[in-house]
Amino acid sequence: MHRCRLVVAVFAALLTIGAARAQTIGFAQVGTESDWRTAFSADMKAEAERRGIHLLFSNADNDAGRQLQAVRGFIAAHVDAIVIAPVVVTGWTETLQAAKAANIPVFIADRAVDADPGLFVARIAADFNLEGRLAGAWLAQATRGNCGIVELRGSEGAEPTIQRHKGFLAIVSQFPNMRILKSVGGDFTSEGGQRAMSLVIQETDGLKNVCAVWSHNDNMLLGAIKAMHEAGLHPGRDQLTVSVDGVPGIFRAMLAGDANMSVELKSDIGKYIFDVVQKYLAGKRDFPKWVLIPSDLHTPADAAAMLSRRGF
Ligand code: GZL
């Protein structure tokens, strides 16, 4: 009997040590292309710190190949779990299969992958298609369904670019007098948006017949607003603006009369991501494939409240 008690005590001690050992989680982040991304990265690092997680953070600088290499590195390091915010949706199957073969659970955060859902535990993200629909619906109402639109697209092949475009088009295509006149890539950066808009201003003789700018994120729109001001144009008045993210700069632009609407994308989602990861590591298995993060629409009416509430 004494021997049996000894075995149980040793086993319990090993379990305790195991539980006490800090979990090591690899996080493959997209880059630093936008204010939203920077806020999301900061939130992930702070939440990991709060939970005593040893976070291996990699920044792919918007380079899909570099991100795949980073995930391979996490696998080689035998981390406890891997979280990926994928730069683009394609090219993931082999790497996710390698993680599965190494018995390392993978969680997709923020964006999405075009791979067998059996290769990852769950995706924790907002609904980008809904964001596009909300933007399209707000614009249709604001223009009574009569508007020529310039679209600023995010990074090619990224899920938010694909779905925000689809969602927006699903709504505005229902109005015969609403049309996307120009669609230009801006890579989700302010510089990209400014460059794209400068080009469009030249091609449309100062945005003639353009009633609105639809931007897949706020940073590209903030760059576009700079270009419009430099050309003596009046964004927010002569051309309405709709975008996504809800970063501080867009609320300041709203208060200055330069922007009209933004769909907020929550950036403080580390708590949701690590909840799913740590519950999985503790043995929970019945997760929905998509843990949905809500999106809220904001206008100048609540811009000041948003700025103060989010402590910017
Ligand atoms: C969406 C996220 C997008 C943001 C952009 O979840 O992936 O990427 O809307 C960022 O600001 O570049």
pLDDT tens-digit map of 262-275: 999 999 999 999 99
More confident residue, 310 or 67: 67
Mutation test of ligand 1: which of 36, 44, 62 has the most ligand atoms closer than 8 Å to its C-beta?
36
- pLDDT of the residue at 19: 52
118 and 136 part of one domain: no
Q: How does residue 5 score in pLDDT terms, banded at 50, 70 and 90?
A: confident
116 and 236 part of one domain: no
Separation of 238 CA from ligand 1 center, angstroms? 27
Nearest CA to ligand 1 atom 6: 110
The residues lining ligand 1, judged by C-beta closer than 6 Å to any ligand atom, are 33-34, 36-37, 110-111, 126, 160, 188, 217, 219, 244-245, 265
- pLDDT of the residue at 8: 67
159 and 90 part of one domain: no
The answer to whether position 287 is within a domain reads no
Q: What is the mean pLDDT of the chain?
A: 95
Residue 74 has pLDDT above 70, yes or no: yes
Residues paired with 56 in a beta bridge: 26
107 and 169 part of one domain: no
Separation of 36 CA from ligand 1 center, angstroms? 7
56 and 35 part of one domain: yes
- pLDDT of the residue at 33: 97
The answer to whether position 1 is within a domain reads no
* Ligand 1 atom with least separation from CA of 85: 7
The answer to whether position 15 is within a domain reads no
- pLDDT of the residue at 310: 63
88 and 196 part of one domain: no
Cα gap 305→264, rounded to integer Å: 13
* Ligand 1 atom with least separation from CA of 216: 9
149 and 165 part of one domain: yes
255 and 108 part of one domain: no
Q: Is the pTM of this model over 0.75?
A: yes
- Determine what percent of the chain is predicted with pLDDT higher than 70: 94
Mutation test of ligand 1: which of 43, 265, 292 has the most ligand atoms closer than 8 Å to its C-beta?
265
108 and 238 part of one domain: no
The answer to whether position 17 is within a domain reads no
Residue 23 has pLDDT above 60, yes or no: yes
Residue 123 has pLDDT above 90, yes or no: yes
Mutation test of ligand 1: which of 33, 34, 295 has the most ligand atoms closer than 8 Å to its C-beta?
34
> What length does the chain have?
312
Cα gap 135→130, rounded to integer Å: 9
Domain of residue 34 covers: 23-126+267-281
The answer to whether position 260 is within a domain reads yes
* Ligand 1 atom with least separation from CA of 155: 12
What would the pLDDT profile of 139-167 be if each residue is shown by its tens digit? Answer: 999 999 999 999 999 999 999 999 999 99
Q: Which of 8-17, 160-169, 225-234, 290-299 has the lowest mean pLDDT?
A: 8-17
Separation of 42 CA from ligand 1 center, angstroms? 14
- Determine what percent of the chain is predicted with pLDDT higher than 90: 91
Separation of 133 CA from ligand 1 center, angstroms? 16
CATH number of the structural domain spanning residue 66? 3.40.50.2300
- pLDDT of the residue at 12: 62
The answer to whether position 77 is within a domain reads yes
The burial of 150, by beta-carbon neighbours within 10 Å (0-12 exposed, 13-18 middle, 19 or more buried), is given as buried
The answer to whether position 2 is within a domain reads no
* Ligand 1 atom with least separation from CA of 31: 12
The residue whose two tokens read 């990265």 is 41
The total number of structural domains that make up the chain:
2
106 and 202 part of one domain: no
30 and 155 part of one domain: no
236 and 134 part of one domain: yes
The answer to whether position 7 is within a domain reads no
